[in-house]
Amino acid sequence: ISSHSQRYTETHRDTERHTETRQEFLHLESTSNDTPPTMMEAKGLLLTCLILQALVIIIQGQSVDLTVKRTPGQTTCASLRCSAKAPTNGSIFALTKLTIYDITDSNTGNRIAYKVEDEDLFINSTKISDVTGTAYWSRYHANLTLNFQNERDCIYGQFQCELKYLKDQDQSAYTSNDSTDVDTNECCTIANYKLSQLQEQYDVLQNKTSRLETELESLKQENEERENSEICVKGSVHTSPRAKFLLWGSVEALCDTETDGGGWVIIQRRTNSDVIFERNWQDYKTGFGNITSNFWFGLDNIHNLTSRGYTVLRVDLEYQGKNYFAQFSTFRVGDELSKYQLAISGYTGTAGDALDVHNGMKFSTFDQDNDPYSSTNCASQFHGAWWYNGCHYSNLNGIWASNDYSGLCWNGVIYPGSVSFS
């Protein structure tokens, strides 16, 4: 009898269940005050043992139903239902308690919730923020439903439902069922959810990778721009007085590597009549010509240059075999919205200041007259494009070799007429 009592007790978790079990079997023990049993008493003892075995069989006959439905990704991501119903054969006197245990991490389990007859549903304080529940109770039928909101419980949780009930003569007994055996969740739901989680993580990593690649490409471009811009800096050693390079990594440009120490980005160059400079607004905006001979760099590029620190302008001219220059310490060209307005000052040199009168003027072409004096279109009249101010003291985009004011004039060198190099 003692061995039956010990084995039965080991199947229960808390002190209450140990105590109740022990009380259930105390009446089976001998009351002979250590007196050896007679034959009749021994037969009674054997009979008692057989009764106990029958009791165990009856207890095992009572069952509790446990179902778990898992819906990961939703607010309520799992629902557990534990129910019990007393058999109609009268072997169960009353249902007294339903208890739910978390057996995920331990065989001993942690109690989540329980319902006792005539008492409110109890939920463990450590779970109250993640679990809600309802219970129905009668003497012969009971169910307990828990809804889970914690992802760990919903995906990995394993649970046990335990029923306590009274048999005849108010004897307490227990039976239980584990979700590991009766989990009704379809096999692929959690797998698909985990796959979707991995897909989301993959998408996040892809986005991060894409951003990093974009940043890396930007850094490479900046580095190339820096390296390329360093090709055209004052004091750099070059094998040619005019070196081609990529400005900002993409714009083909020409560097004057020797004049006054070098480092000059050339924005206009005229050596002969190969390229016609009487052009429209779009051409002057984007640039035209041959970078190695005669060209205009483009107003957008010139604006970008002056916006990025290239703020000193040097004009080199040649007339009748003699060289002249004009240098300006402040030089800025606005954007297209401002009509590429000119800001220039700080003249030094030998050619004379033929740009002072053009300071503050907007750029004009024959198809876009931005000269403040509306009585005439200076660009059309003098066959060029410039920062005209009704009209000019300089006209370096005029007609090559013209002897009048339509030529490559520069007041201080030749005016009217044309220089032979600009």
Q: Indicate whether 387 and 415 sit together in one domain.
A: yes
Q: Indicate whether 284 and 392 sit together in one domain.
A: yes
Task: With respect to residue 156, please indicate whether it lies within any of the assigned structural domains.
Answer: yes
Task: With respect to residue 234, please indicate whether it lies within any of the assigned structural domains.
Answer: no
Task: With respect to residue 47, please indicate whether it lies within any of the assigned structural domains.
Answer: no
> What average pLDDT score do residues 194-202 get?
76
128, 121 Cβ separation under 8 angstroms: no
Q: Indicate whether 286 and 405 sit together in one domain.
A: yes
Q: Indicate whether 150 and 220 sit together in one domain.
A: no
Q: Indicate whether 95 and 202 sit together in one domain.
A: no
348, 354 Cβ separation under 8 angstroms: no
Confidence tier at 180 by pLDDT (50, 70, 90): low
**Per-residue pLDDT, 74:** 81
Q: Which two tokens stand for residue 56?
A: 């165990």
Q: Which two tokens stand for residue 289?
A: 């010509």
Task: With respect to residue 10, please indicate whether it lies within any of the assigned structural domains.
Answer: no
Domain final residue, candidates 181, 209, 228: 228
Q: Indicate whether 222 and 345 sit together in one domain.
A: no
Domain final residue, candidates 228, 247, 276: 228
If you average pLDDT over every residue of the chain, what do you get?
80
Q: Is the pLDDT of residue 105 over 90?
A: no
**Per-residue pLDDT, 140:** 83
**Per-residue pLDDT, 145:** 93
Task: With respect to residue 52, please indicate whether it lies within any of the assigned structural domains.
Answer: no
* Domain containing residue 224: 190-228
Confidence tier at 108 by pLDDT (50, 70, 90): low
Q: Indicate whether 376 and 271 sit together in one domain.
A: yes
- C-alpha distance from residue 213 to each of 12, 174, 201 (Å): 60, 63, 18
> What average pLDDT score do residues 211-230 get?
74
* Count of all residues that appear for the chain in the document: 422
What is the residue whose two structure tokens read 């129905």?
A: 136
Q: Is the pLDDT of residue 55 over 50?
A: no
Q: pTM value?
A: 0.49
How far apart are alpha carbons 38 and 327 in whole angstroms? 133
Q: Indicate whether 157 and 293 sit together in one domain.
A: no
Confidence tier at 51 by pLDDT (50, 70, 90): very low
**Among the ranges given (45-49, 68-72, 373-377), the one the predictor scored with the smallest mean pLDDT:** 45-49
Neighbours of 189 (CB within 10 A): 15
What is the residue whose two structure tokens read 């957008």?
A: 300
Q: Give the rounded percent of residues in the chain with a pLDDT score beyond 90.
A: 45
Q: Indicate whether 209 and 281 sit together in one domain.
A: no
Task: With respect to residue 49, please indicate whether it lies within any of the assigned structural domains.
Answer: no
Task: With respect to residue 183, please indicate whether it lies within any of the assigned structural domains.
Answer: no
Residue 391 belongs to domain with CATH number = 3.90.215.10
How far apart are alpha carbons 167 and 163 in whole angstroms? 13
How far apart are alpha carbons 294 and 324 in whole angstroms? 19
304, 225 Cβ separation under 8 angstroms: no
Cα radius of gyration (the chain): 49
How far apart are alpha carbons 395 and 315 in whole angstroms? 12
> What average pLDDT score do residues 367-391 get?
93
299 in helix, strand or coil?
A: helix
Neighbours of 289 (CB within 10 A): 20
Q: Indicate whether 207 and 334 sit together in one domain.
A: no
Q: Indicate whether 132 and 196 sit together in one domain.
A: no
How far apart are alpha carbons 357 and 349 in whole angstroms? 17
- C-alpha distance from residue 82 to each of 1, 131, 139, 146, 178 (Å): 33, 15, 16, 9, 10
**Per-residue pLDDT, 28:** 31
Task: With respect to residue 177, please indicate whether it lies within any of the assigned structural domains.
Answer: no
How far apart are alpha carbons 233 and 230 in whole angstroms? 5
Q: Indicate whether 195 and 273 sit together in one domain.
A: no
Q: What is the torsion angle, in degrees rounded to the nearest 10, for the CA atoms of residue 412, residue 418, residue 261 and residue 307?
A: 90
Domain count, the chain: 3
